[in-house]
Every structure is written in structure tokens, then in C-alpha cells.
């Protein structure tokens, strides 16, 4: 259980909030690069409670700047993208990708006024077809080269989920809640006569959690021991990558899940899936993987479908409330992964508020060639993977 104050400290993401300051120290995905095209070189988006405009100027540089013009606050999204920046639709002030004001058409020449005005701007980098931004203080850490983004022995796919109407922490606490797979997933599938969750339909005998504190990444490793009638099996892996990612096997694929807070009550979720090639051979794939947008996870009547992992998880997270009031929860022994993750959050928020550098930032390019995670699959999961006829997202699409 958390006090109301501490719950607010963990869940609020705006500028100058404690969790918002921590989250701003990491790179976050803001969408597939292919969403920005020469025909539509701009996109409006909200990240960490800030209203922003993403654009690509005619020189091919990405900019992510505050949406509201510093002159009279009109939306720059409706502006014109030019060779070297974006021009406000109201009075024509122009800003480059760094937020520098380049022109103020109706101000006296040489007044020096444009040097006094600048717009909020954040760096944008593309990796594996995804655009990422960093909204914290300079110097920015390196954009981590997670192995799934840079491996060449398989195929990548980007999957964008419908926006989740809940606070980011609800999705993240689920990532250190390994018992939920039994009822929320396996049992729900079974109850509907569907295959897909059998692997998780086994009693869990033992749960272990291990805190990882670098050097390349920080987070929580989970280990669960299943106790079937005649076999025991321990499976380790599926790390929660601090502060807002999950790395998990999913059928034959390896998947990174990012949960980017849009604001306190909405979360943008995107996955990078990677299917290793059969013999580990190099796969020919384009620099930008295909992108799939998962359709709605609710029925036309507005109920959760409950027929896919994603809709089951969405139900669990959204029905906790837009911002789950953790002063009303009752945590048990099986919830200690959540307690451990909150301990890290509490500690790392304090580090940032005290002016320090939080865990899991990479600054050495040598160490950033490919950041790899060990995932140990138990025998049963190997079998399960072999019999898995279509990947999770293929099922979703079907």
C-alpha cells in the first residue's frame, strides 16, 4: 500500500514532477519513423504531459518542439514545414529543429528580438525504424542499442498498440507480477475454449526476483518455478528494464515493450518484435521494419475482448482506474516484485532529485554496440515455442 502522496510521486509525469524528472533521464520511443513522410512531414503528440510537434525539415532533420508558438501560443502543428524549420501558421515566425527562432517577418530588421525567443526542443534519433526522444538535461546519454534493434540474424516488426487509458505505472507493475499469467491469460483463454495460454496454465511453486543494477541496464529479473504433477521447471528472464520497458519471449519471438507516458492518464505502448532466423543466419531486411497497428482491443459495445494477451492486460490495467489509487491496495507475498520495483523507483527518484545520475544510462559507445539480455527458456517453453503456429501479433491481426 502506498500513501496518497507517494502514489502521486510515482505516477505524475509532467515537467518538474519527481517521476517525470526520473523518466526524462531516459530515451523514449515516440513512434515509427514511417509516420513522417514528405507528404505529411509533421505529427502532433504528447509525451510526459508536454504537447509537442514532431517534424522533419526538407534537409531531413527531425525536430520535436513545443506545440504552442512562443509568440501567441497558436499550434505549430498547423504550420508549414520548410527547408530549415517549421513556420507558425499565425504570423509566420519560423523555428528550426533546435527550437531556434530563425525569422519574425513583421519585426524590425536587426531588432535582435528573435535571438531573445526560443522554443522548447528535444533531440530525436531513429533506430530500427523507431523514433526516440530524450527530454532531460544535457548531455543526453546514448540511445541504447538494445540487441533486438541491431541484431542481423532475424526479422524485426514494430507493433503499435491502441493508446491505453491509464497511468504508465499500471503497465509497469504488471511486468513484475508473474502470477497474473495464470488467471488473466491462461484461465481466460481456457474459459473461452481458446488455445494460447496453456503454457501458463500451471501452478507456480516459487517466485524469485533479482535486482539488476547495471552496468548497461538496470531492472528486475524474474524467475518462476512451475510445479506440474510430474516435473518442475524454473524459467528466468523477462526482465523489467528500468524504468519503463519489458523484455520478453513471446512465442518464437523476442519482444521489447516500451510504455511511454503520454500524460498521467494515458500511455503509448509500442513493441519491437524480433524473430531469429532458423540457423542464426543473417537475414535480409530493410532498415525500417514493417509496422503493424493493433486494432481496437474492445468490442463495439465497449467491452474488453479478453481474447488476446493484449486485451486481457488492457482490461486489467485500465479497470484499476485512470491513476490507480494504491492507498486502497492490499499487497501479498506474491506481490513482492512490485515492492522491489517501487523500491528502485523511490531510490532512483531521490538520486535524480539530489542531482545525481540514475541507474541504467549508457555513455560509453564501446559498451553500446549491442545490449544483450539472457533469457532462459525452460524445456516446456521450448516445446511450446515449437508448437506455436503463429506469433502473438499474427494472432492479434487474425
Q: Examine residue 199 and tell whether it contacts ligand FES (CB under 6 A).
A: no
Chain positions 321 to 360 lying near ligand FES, rule: CB under 6 A, are none
**Torsion, Cα of 278, 283, 288, 292 (10° steps):** -20
Q: Which CB, 54 or 101, lies closer to ligand FES?
A: 101
Report, in Å, the least distance between residue 119 CB and ligand FES. Answer: 10
Three-state DSSP at 340 gives helix
- DSSP class of residue 179 equals T
| Stretch of 64-72, 170-178, 197-205, 375-383 lying at the interface with ligand FES (CB under 6 A) | 64-72
Interface residue with ligand FES among 34, 75, 90, 291 (CB under 6 A) is: 90
Rounded to whole angstroms, the Cα distance separating 342 from 173 reads 9
**C-alpha 314: how far from chain center:** 15
Contacted entry of ligand FES, Fe ion, none for residue 88, CB cut-off 5 to 8 Å set by kind: ligand FES
Report the side by side order of strands in the sheet with 42-47.
Answer: 42-47, 50-56, 62-66, 121-122
Furthest-apart CA atoms within the chain: distance in Å? 84
Cβ proximity of 86 and 80 under 8 Å: yes
Rounded to whole angstroms, the Cα distance separating 313 from 183 reads 11
Q: Residues 185-210, buried b or exposed e (16+ Cβ, 10 A)?
A: bbebbeeeeeebbebbbbeeeebebe
Q: How far is CA 262 from CA 46, 217, 232, in A?
A: 5, 23, 42
Rounded to whole angstroms, the Cα distance separating 203 from 341 reads 24
Cβ proximity of 331 and 177 under 8 Å: no
What would the x/- binding string for Fe ion be over residues 308 to 327, using CB under 5 A?
-----x--------------
Interface residue with ligand FES among 22, 23, 47, 88 (CB under 6 A) is: 88
Q: Which CB, 254 or 362, lies closer to Fe ion?
A: 254
Report, in Å, the least distance between residue 175 CB and Fe ion. Answer: 8
Q: Examine residue 177 and tell whether it contacts Fe ion (CB under 5 A).
A: no
Q: Which CB, 86 or 218, lies closer to ligand FES?
A: 86
Q: Examine residue 292 and tell whether it contacts Fe ion (CB under 5 A).
A: no
Helix 4-11 to helix 336-353 angle, to the nearest 10 degrees? 70
Q: Which CB, 92 or 276, lies closer to ligand FES?
A: 92
Contacted entry of ligand FES, Fe ion, none for residue 91, CB cut-off 5 to 8 Å set by kind: ligand FES
Q: Examine residue 91 and tell whether it contacts ligand FES (CB under 6 A).
A: yes
Q: Which CB, 90 or 201, lies closer to ligand FES?
A: 90
Report, in Å, the least distance between residue 87 CB and ligand FES. Answer: 8
| Stretch of 19-27, 33-41, 91-99, 252-260 lying at the interface with ligand FES (CB under 6 A) | 91-99
Report, in Å, the least distance between residue 317 CB and Fe ion. Answer: 9
| Stretch of 68-76, 114-122, 312-320, 340-348 lying at the interface with ligand FES (CB under 6 A) | 68-76
Rounded to whole angstroms, the Cα distance separating 99 from 118 reads 6
Residues that bind Fe ion (CB under 5 A): 313
The site for ligand FES (CB under 6 A) is made up of 69, 71-72, 74, 88, 90-93
Amino acid at each position: 500500500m502506498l500513501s496518497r502522496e507517494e502514489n502521486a510521486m510515482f505516477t505524475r509525469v509532467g515537467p518538474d514532477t519527481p517521476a517525470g524528472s526520473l523518466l526524462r533521464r531516459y530515451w523514449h520511443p515516440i513512434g515509427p519513423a514511417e509516420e513522417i513522410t514528405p507528404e505529411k512531414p509533421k505529427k502532433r503528440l504528447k509525451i510526459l504531459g508536454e504537447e509537442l510537434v514532431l517534424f522533419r525539415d526538407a534537409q531531413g532533420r527531425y525536430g520535436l518542439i513545443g506545440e504552442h508558438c512562443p509568440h501567441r501560443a497558436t499550434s505549430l502543428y498547423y504550420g508549414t514545414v520548410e527547408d530549415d524549420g517549421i513556420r507558425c501558421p499565425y504570423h509566420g515566425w519560423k523555428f528550426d529543429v533546435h527550437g531556434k527562432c530563425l525569422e519574425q517577418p513583421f519585426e524590425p530588421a536587426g531588432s535582435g528580438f528573435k535571438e531573445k525567443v526560443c522554443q522548447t526542443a528535444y533531440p530525436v534519433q531513429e533506430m530500427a525504424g523507431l523514433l526516440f526522444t530524450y527530454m532531460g538535461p544535457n548531455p543526453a546519454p546514448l540511445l541504447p542499442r538494445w540487441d533486438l534493434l541491431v541484431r542481423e540474424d532475424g526479422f524485426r516488426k514494430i507493433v503499435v498498440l491502441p493508446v491505453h487509458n491509464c497511468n504508465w505505472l499500471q503497465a509497469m507493475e504488471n511486468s513484475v507480477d508473474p502470477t497474473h499469467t495464470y488467471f488473466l491469460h491462461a484461465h481466460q483463454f481456457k474459459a473461452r475454449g481458446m488455445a494460447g495460454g496453456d503454457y501458463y496454465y500451471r501452478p507456480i511453486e516459487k517466485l524469485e526476483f533479482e535486482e539488476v543494477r547495471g552496468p548497461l541496464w538496470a531492472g528486475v529479473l524474474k524467475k518462476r518455478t512451475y510445479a506440474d504433477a510430474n516435473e518442475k521447471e524454473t524459467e528466468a528472464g523477462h526482465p523489467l528494464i528500468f524504468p519503463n520497458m519489458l523484455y520478453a519471449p513471446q512465442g518464437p519471438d523476442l519482444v521489447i515493450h516500451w510504455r511511454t507516458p503520454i500524460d498521467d492518464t494515458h500511455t503509448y505502448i509500442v513493441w519491437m518484435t524480433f524473430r531469429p532466423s532458423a540457423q542464426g543466419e543473417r537475414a535480409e531486411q530493410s532498415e525500417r521494419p514493417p509496422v503493424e497497428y493493433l486494432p481496437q482491443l474492445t468490442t463495439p459495445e465497449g467491452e474488453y475482448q479478453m481474447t488476446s494477451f493484449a486485451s486481457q492486460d488492457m482490461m486489467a490495467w485500465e479497470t484499476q482506474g485512470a491513476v490507480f489509487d494504491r492507498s486502497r491496495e492490499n499487497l501479498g507475498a506474491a506481490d513482492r516484485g512490485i515492492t522491489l520495483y517501487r523500491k528502485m523507483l523511490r531510490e532512483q527518484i531521490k538520486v535524480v532529485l539530489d542531482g545525481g545520475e540514475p541507474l541504467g544510462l549508457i555513455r560509453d559507445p564501446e559498451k553500446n554496440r549491442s545490449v544483450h539480455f539472457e533469457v532462459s527458456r525452460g524445456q516446456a517453453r521450448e516445446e511450446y515455442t515449437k508448437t506455436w503456429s503463429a506469433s502473438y501479433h499474427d494472432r492479434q491481426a487474425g
